[in-house]
């Protein structure tokens, strides 16, 4: 089969011919119909995040059809439409048994620590495979498995409830999903903070109030728009100390700031004024959980989560096209999401 693989960090991905993956008794072999190209993949190619063992097939956002199932798998049969949770986990440790499988010591992320979906076929354990309803196109099913799932996890970690006001810092793939999901949950108001007019216009079309951080100090702006109250939930989806600080500062009494953007830098808070005095909470968000995917798929099936406008381009399974797409992400030239259709 054909696969587009990272051979060496810092170099373009290459197309290789590989034997078909082996299918264990609890595995499902999936014919890839759509694989999302994620900003993380650009980091992996550049060597900014560890990928091993090399060479490795990238691609952690995958939807497809079942090609073959292992001897012990009864939940799926050939030609079923499916999408894949990107973690392969043991299913038996304490973390797995309590639904916190993102901390499973043997968890291996597809497209980072095991071969992923930039290929004609990919194999995953059946517990990481979910039925994809007919109403959801493969492209949308694929990208839902990463950014939308993480946005939902962030909103759940922040304990967002119906009637809450929400601020979303960063209107990228995560942010656009977060806005739609906050709508579904029943947000009273959603403030979308970014500096790019195109992204702010997109957020506005989805029903959010755009806050242009290039034109005004966003915390002051959110305080003005909420008549000095602040928001119940703030999501930081960028990974910058400045926006993390803003996410904390714009909170209302007992507000929750969920931080999902990745940075190794530190940020400051004024403990008394910004956290203790109003019982604010700062919450870490790591990935998402398999158990959250059915909810996400259900909302998408009912049209409450619609990613059709987010996908700007589809590409063939071709190394040159994929490398060019990753170049675009590196240089922040791409505003929407790109998906490989092998
Ligand atoms: Zn991703
Ligand atoms: Zn485990």
- Chain mean position to CA 80: 24
DSSP letter assigned to residue 121: E
Q: How far is the CA of 209 from the centre of ligand 1 (A)?
A: 26
Using a CB cutoff of 5 Å, list residues around ligand 1, an ion. Answer: 38, 146
Q: How far is the CA of 126 from the centre of ligand 2 (A)?
A: 14
Residues in the chain: 342
CA 102/CA 119 separation, integer angstroms? 24
Q: What is the pLDDT along the chain (342 residues), one digit of tens a residue?
A: 999 999 999 999 999 999 999 999 999 999 999 999 998 999 999 999 999 999 999 999 999 999 999 999 999 999 999 999 999 999 999 999 999 999 999 999 999 999 999 999 999 999 999 999 999 999 999 999 998 999 999 999 999 999 999 999 999 889 999 999 999 999 999 999 999 999 999 999 999 999 999 999 999 999 999 999 999 999 999 999 999 999 999 999 999 999 999 899 999 999 999 999 999 999 999 989 999 999 999 999 999 888 888 888 999 999 999 999 999 998 877 777 899 999
Q: Rounded to two decimals, what is the model's pTM?
A: 0.93
Q: How far is the CA of 71 from the centre of ligand 1 (A)?
A: 30
Q: What is the pLDDT of residue 332?
A: 76
CA 198/CA 169 separation, integer angstroms? 15
Query: Are 237 and 175 within 8 A, CB to CB?
Result: yes
Q: Can you read off the two tokens belonging to residue 41? A: 């993949």
Strands 2-6 and 56-57, bridge-based pairing = antiparallel
Ligand showing the shortest atom-to-Cα distance for residue 39: 1
CA 51/CA 319 separation, integer angstroms? 18
CA-nearest of 124, 149, 128, 179 to 38 is 149
Q: What is the pLDDT of residue 280?
A: 98
Ligand showing the shortest atom-to-Cα distance for residue 84: 1
Q: What is the pLDDT of residue 283?
A: 98
Q: What is the pLDDT of residue 310?
A: 83
Ligand showing the shortest atom-to-Cα distance for residue 105: 2
Q: How far is the CA of 91 from the centre of ligand 2 (A)?
A: 5
Q: How far is the CA of 151 from the centre of ligand 1 (A)?
A: 12
What are the residue ranges of helices labelled H in 66-172? 94-97, 138-143, 149-157
* Cβ partners under 8 Å of residue 342, min gap 6: 2, 32, 33, 35, 119, 120, 316, 317
CA-nearest of 234, 220, 224 to 166 is 234
Q: How far is the CA of 45 from the centre of ligand 1 (A)?
A: 13
CA 318/CA 173 separation, integer angstroms? 23
Q: What is the pLDDT of residue 189?
A: 98
Q: How far is the CA of 58 from the centre of ligand 1 (A)?
A: 10
CA 15/CA 4 separation, integer angstroms? 4
Residue 137, CB-side half-sphere exposure with 13 Å CA sphere: 14
CA-nearest of 277, 230, 234 to 259 is 234
Q: How far is the CA of 255 from the centre of ligand 1 (A)?
A: 28
Query: Are 46 and 6 within 8 A, CB to CB?
Result: no
Specify the residue for token string 């790591």. Answer: 286
Q: How far is the CA of 109 from the centre of ligand 2 (A)?
A: 13
Q: Can you read off the two tokens belonging to residue 245? A: 């600080």
Q: What is the pLDDT of residue 188?
A: 98
Query: Are 309 and 316 within 8 A, CB to CB?
Result: no
Q: Return the SS3 of 87.
A: strand
Q: How far is the CA of 10 from the centre of ligand 1 (A)?
A: 19
CA 91/CA 13 separation, integer angstroms? 32
Query: Are 175 and 203 within 8 A, CB to CB?
Result: yes
Q: How far is the CA of 314 from the centre of ligand 1 (A)?
A: 16
Cis geometry, peptide bond prior to residue 53 (ω within 30 degrees of 0):
yes
Ligand showing the shortest atom-to-Cα distance for residue 147: 1
Q: What is the pLDDT of residue 207?
A: 96
Q: Can you read off the two tokens belonging to residue 251? A: 């909170």
What are the residue ranges of helices labelled H in the chain? 39-46, 94-97, 138-143, 149-157, 173-185, 197-205, 218-225, 241-249, 293-301, 319-330
Q: How far is the CA of 38 from the centre of ligand 1 (A)?
A: 4
DSSP letter assigned to residue 272: I
Q: How far is the CA of 60 from the centre of ligand 1 (A)?
A: 6
Helices vs. strands in the chain: H and E counts, helices first: 10, 18
């Amino acid at each position: 089969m054909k696969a587009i693989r990272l051979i060496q960090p810092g170099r373009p991905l290459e197309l290789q011919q590989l034997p078909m993956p082996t299918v264990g008794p609890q595995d499902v072999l999936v014919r890839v119909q759509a694989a999302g190209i994620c900003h993380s993949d650009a980091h992996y190619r550049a060597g900014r995040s560890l990928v091993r063992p090399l060479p490795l097939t990238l691609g952690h956002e995958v939807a497809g059809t079942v090609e073959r199932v292992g001897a012990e798998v009864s939940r799926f049969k050939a030609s079923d439409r499916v999408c894949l949770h990107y973690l392969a986990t043991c299913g038996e440790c304490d973390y797995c048994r309590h639904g916190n499988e993102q901390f499973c010591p043997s968890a291996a992320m597809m497209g980072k620590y095991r071969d992923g979906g930039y290929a004609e076929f990919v194999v995953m354990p059946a517990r990481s495979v979910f039925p994809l309803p007919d109403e959801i196109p493969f492209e949308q099913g694929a990208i839902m498995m990463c950014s939308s799932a993480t946005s939902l996890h962030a909103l759940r970690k922040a304990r967002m409830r119906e009637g809450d006001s929400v601020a979303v810092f960063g209107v990228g793939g995560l942010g656009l999903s977060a806005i739609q999901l906050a709508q579904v949950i029943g947000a009273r108001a959603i403030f979308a903070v970014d500096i790019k007019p195109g992204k702010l216009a997109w957020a506005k079309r989805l029903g959010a109030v755009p806050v242009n951080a290039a034109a005004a100090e966003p915390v002051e702006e959110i305080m003005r728009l909420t008549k000095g109250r602040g928001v119940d939930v703030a999501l930081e989806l960028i990974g910058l100390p400045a926006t993390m600080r803003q996410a904390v500062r714009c909170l209302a009494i007992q507000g929750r700031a969920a931080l999902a953007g990745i940075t190794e830098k530190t940020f400051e808070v004024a403990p008394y004024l910004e956290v203790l005095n109003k019982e604010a909470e700062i919450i870490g968000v790591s990935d998402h959980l398999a158990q959250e995917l059915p909810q996400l798929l259900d909302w998408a099936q009912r049209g409450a989560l619609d990613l059709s406008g987010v996908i700007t381009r589809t590409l063939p399974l071709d190394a040159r096209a994929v490398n060019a797409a990753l170049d675009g992400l590196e240089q922040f030239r791409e505003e929407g999401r790109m998906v490989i259709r092998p």
